[in-house]
Amino acid sequence: MQIYQFLNLARTVNDNENVNKIILVNLLNKDLVWLYSNLNTIKYDQKFLKKYLALVKQYADGLPLGYIFGYVFFNGNKILVDKNVLIPRNETEILVDRALFYAEKLFASKILNVLDLCTGSGCIAISMALKKANWNFIASDISTKTLDTARLNQNLHQLVNVKLVTSDLFVNLAESKFDLIVCNPPYIEKSSDTYQISKLAHEPELALFADDGGLEFYQRIFASVLNYTKPDFLLALEIGFDQKQALEKMLAEKFSSYFYWFEKDYQNHWRFLFISSKGL
Ligand SMILES: C[S@@+](CC[C@H](N)C(=O)[O-])C[C@H]1O[C@@H](n2cnc3c(N)ncnc32)[C@H](O)[C@@H]1O
């Protein structure tokens, strides 16, 4: 059977033809130029067709492309993903870029100790460590399975400046003090009707949901973070698009003598919170 016939059959399973093509070139380890040059030439057998259509069906049933391919690109770097980790989002790339920007402004050329709390795939620590080879990173997560995937990413990028630690937030980090703490914690309220929870069905619950209206992790982090920071520090957090107001109340209680500010994502939502001991 020829490639154009594969694509015709795939359309009966999933009507997004671009995705069908991407799944096919990925499976063949080719690119779109190759695909268009070979629509009528090269033939594949029924066994391959079955494998291909099964992947197209998985996509049609809602499995994100990252899980189908087993990787995504985050900040230009390949990050391996599987069912034990959240698929890194574009918004989190903004968190990384802004955190690096502010860290450079606040700390100039100092060599920093950085914590990526709730690291998941390790995407935050890894993309930062690739840019800052002389900084020291700890990437921690409560789940050992999640850290297994982070370790694959650490090995893929051959990073010697990232240490992986299993920890319920700060519990196993007792001896450490950080200049920069970056965290994208779980922040979705389980009963939320503002998120399309069904779209998240394939991702680990542990990575998504938080109690207390989604604020549980911010409460816990705010309660103890100052025990793990150096006198001069930057804390960079991703937040839910509807959490700014509630967080402002919490900040007024705990961080009134510090500098803090929020930033927006590409959709004009308030999605990032920065807290620092120093003004910019
Ligand atoms: C929203 S995901 C973020 C993953 C990754 N940093 C990213 O931005 O794509 C949250 C992560 O927090 C981890 N997590 C959940 N509860 C935790 C806890 N109590 N302590 C540490 N990590 C936790 C989950 O396993 C998950 O990997």
CB contact at 8 A, 238 and 92: yes
Q: pTM for this structure?
A: 0.94
Name the 3-class secondary structure at 29.
coil
Q: How far is the CA of 163 from the centre of ligand 1 (A)?
A: 16
Atom of ligand 1 nearest to the CA of 171: 20
Minimum CA distance residue for ligand 1 atom 6: 119
What are the residue boundaries of the structural domains of the chain, listed by start? Answer: 3-61, 84-276
> Residue 168 — pLDDT band, cuts 50, 70, 90?
very high
For a ligand 1 pocket test, name from 86, 218, 265 the mutation site with the most ligand atoms within 8 angstroms of its C-beta.
Answer: 86
Ligand 1 centroid vs 58 CA: distance in angstroms?
25
- Residue 120 Cα, ligand 1 centroid: separation in angstroms? 5
Bridging pattern class, strands 270-276 and 229-238: antiparallel
CB atoms within 10 A of CB 23: 22
The SS3 assignment for 106 reads helix
Is the CB of 23 within 6 Å of ligand 1?
Answer: no
- Cβ of 169 below 6 Å from ligand 1: yes
pLDDT tens by residue, 13-41: 999 999 999 999 999 999 999 999 999 98
* Digit-coded pLDDT (tens) for 84-113: 999 999 999 999 999 999 999 999 999 999
Q: Which residues contact 138 (CB under 8 A, 6 or more apart)?
A: 113, 114, 115, 116, 125, 162, 163, 164, 165, 173, 176, 178
Are 86 and 121 in contact by the 8 Å Cβ rule? The answer is yes
> Which among 116, 141, 182, 183 is the best mutation to test ligand 1's pocket, defined by most ligand atoms within 8 Å of the CB?
141
pLDDT at 135: 98
* Nearest Cα residue to atom 12 of ligand 1: 118
As a whole number of Å, the end-to-end CA separation of the chain is 62
The phi and psi torsions of 139 (rounded to 5 degrees) equal -115, 120
Q: Which atom from ligand 1 is nearest to the alpha carbon of 92?
A: 8
Q: How far is the centre of ligand 1, averaged over its atoms, from the C-alpha of 241 (Å)?
A: 18
* Residue 184 in contact with ligand 1 by CB distance below 6 A: yes
pLDDT bucket at 43, cuts 50 / 70 / 90:
confident
Nearest CA to ligand 1 atom 25: 207
Q: Determine the CATH number of domain 84-276.
A: 3.40.50.150
At 228-250, the pLDDT tens digits run 999 999 999 999 999 999 999 99
Q: What's the sign of the alpha-carbon dihedral 241, 143, 136, 177?
A: positive
